[in-house]
Structure 1
Amino acid sequence: MNSFTGRSILVTGASSGLGAATVRRFAAGGGKVYAASRNAELLAEVAASCADLPGEVAFGSHDITSPADCRAAVAAAVAAYGRLDVVVNNAGRHDFRITTETTDEEWAHDIALNLSGAFYVAQAAIPHLLEVGGNIVNVASVAGLMGEAYSAAYTAAKHGIVGLTKALAVEYLNAPLRVNCVCPGGMDTAQVQTISVPEGADWELIMRVAAKRGMMTADSVAAVIAFLASDDAASVHGSIQAVDQGHLAG
């Protein structure tokens, strides 16, 4: 277990799934976590599940599709613990849409949630991270490394997260800041249970991205995020880590 004692960590999209698992992982390592999401009720449940862990969890309702809310989440994390050491840009959602039927509003929302939010959070957090030699872990997807059917906006956004990670890594190559990216494959989370597929979609095309070993647990991906955020990964900067049970290797 990586140690985060004395470290302050902001996790977006923290109310369920990978975000909640990541909050618990950092709290188990003694970290002081600020959990951000739109759903304050679910955030309270996540915080309660960490009550017996060595770390601390504070939380607040923030809509990552709003640039102002992104800045507010960073400010709240700093206010809660007096510093900011780690940012995990996890907020996102995968909605399947037929490209020709995607509305302007759906495209804009998908890009805002899955890409722009990470940019605005990073933009606000970087001055604080530079003060302490901190780091950012962006969460993309295997969709950031390959195409996914009926997912034009999501795939474009996740490719954007990969590009954002590389751009920031180069920009801060000579500064005390690390930036890395995790690209998970399919995880057994609540979101998987609520995803709907457009009428008439080709299921075989959708299943092309499924790993032969099946779904992963969110905890297994959270462990990789924690490693990248830890001192054990001090030499890891600008990396794009696929966590997909070998799917992209084949």
Structure 2
Amino acid sequence: MRYQDKIVIVTGAASGIGAATARALATEGATLVLGDRNVQGASDVAISIGKQAMPVEFEASSADGCRGLIEQAISAHGRIDMLCNIAGLMDWAPLEQFDESRWDQMVAVNLSAVFHLSRAAMPHLVASRGNIVNMASAAGLVGVAYSAAYCATKHGVIGLTKSMAIEFASAGVRVNAICPTGVKTAMMSNLVWPENIDVSLLMRNSSKLGDMIDPEDVAAAVCFLGSSDARQVSGISFPVDGAQTAG
């Protein structure tokens, strides 16, 4: 019960890592605000958890939407103890095929939303001496072919994480990032491989332990980094990648 009496926001909570994280935090006592553009999916997750979870319709690509999610959490609970920035988008293609609109959407959802949510939540996290866990990726630590935009946003999340960790350390706010390898989620299973690519360039970008990991593996890392067990941990990029990025 490391999260008893803690108010936690989880974005991307309708499915995948976000849903697994919400359920894991709930088992440890957290009161949850579940943000997702798929409000029905977030509601289904909230129902599976119980009355301690509140679904909120949330559009990550909108700065106003990000601020609105924080405002709704404060209106409902009066405080925020932890922000889990998990909502994300995966899209990939050879560079010449990746047009401006796809780039702009990737940056808005994967990077700008993390900035807007963190900025809006920070005064409340300072008041509670809370923390942020951002979802980066193994692709934020290395380059991945045909994924220039995705890699750029996830490298950006890591840079933002480190900067905020330093800036707010004296205020008692911790900020960390998690860097998973491929995760067994609908987002990954629905990906379509671009045509005419060199598959050999992608072979290094997988877990050395074998299969893709489960969302619950990532959720466990979130629960640790957000808890008092990690009270001296801040500014890290925590791989959950089966040695993908080890060398």
Is the TM-score greater than 0.5? yes
1:128 match: secondary structure: helix
SS of the aligned residue for 1:11 comes to: strand
The alpha-carbon deviation at position 45 of structure 1 amounts to 1.3
- Alignment of 1:242 onto 2:242: no
The one-letter code of the counterpart of 2:236 is: S
Deviating beyond 2 angstroms after TM superposition, the runs of 4 or more aligned structure 1 residues are: none
Gaps of 5+ in 2: none
Residue from 205, 213, 226 that aligns with 1:209 = 205
Instruction: Verify the 8 A CA contact 2:92 2:98 in the aligned structure 1.
Output: no
In structure 1, stretches of 5+ residues that fail to align are none
- The structure 2 residue matched to 1:145, chosen from 141, 145, 150, is 141
| Aligned-residue offset at 1:206 | 2.6
Aligned twin of 1:107: 103
Q: Specify the alignment match of 2:230 in structure 1.
A: 233
For 1:46, the aligned partner's letter is: V
Distance 1:151 1:247 in 2: 16
Q: How does 1:66-85 map to 2 (within 5 A)?
A: 66-85=62-81
How far is 1:15 from its partner? 0.8
Q: What TM-score, normalized to structure 2?
A: 0.97
- Secondary structure in structure 1 of the residue aligned to 2:54: strand
The whole-number CA distance in structure 1 between the counterparts of 2:107 and 2:197 is 22
8 Å Cα contact 2:179-2:238 kept in structure 1: yes
Cα offset, 1:204, TM superposition? 2.3
Deviation at 1:115, TM superposition (A): 0.5
The alignment covers a number of residue pairs equal to 246
Contact 1:95 / 1:196 at 8 angstroms: preserved in 2?
A: no
> How far off is 1:29 after superposition?
0.7
The sequence identity of aligned pairs, in percent, is: 40
Contact 1:7-1:84 at 8 Å conserved across structures: yes
Paired amino acid for 1:31: A
Matches within 5 A, 1:31-70: 31-51=30-50, 56-70=52-66
CA deviation vs aligned residue, 1:161-208 (integer Å, no higher than 9, x gap): 000001101111211211111111111111111011211122222332
Q: Could you say what the CA RMSD is over the residues aligned between the two structures, in angstroms?
A: 1.1
TM-score with structure 1 setting the length: 0.95
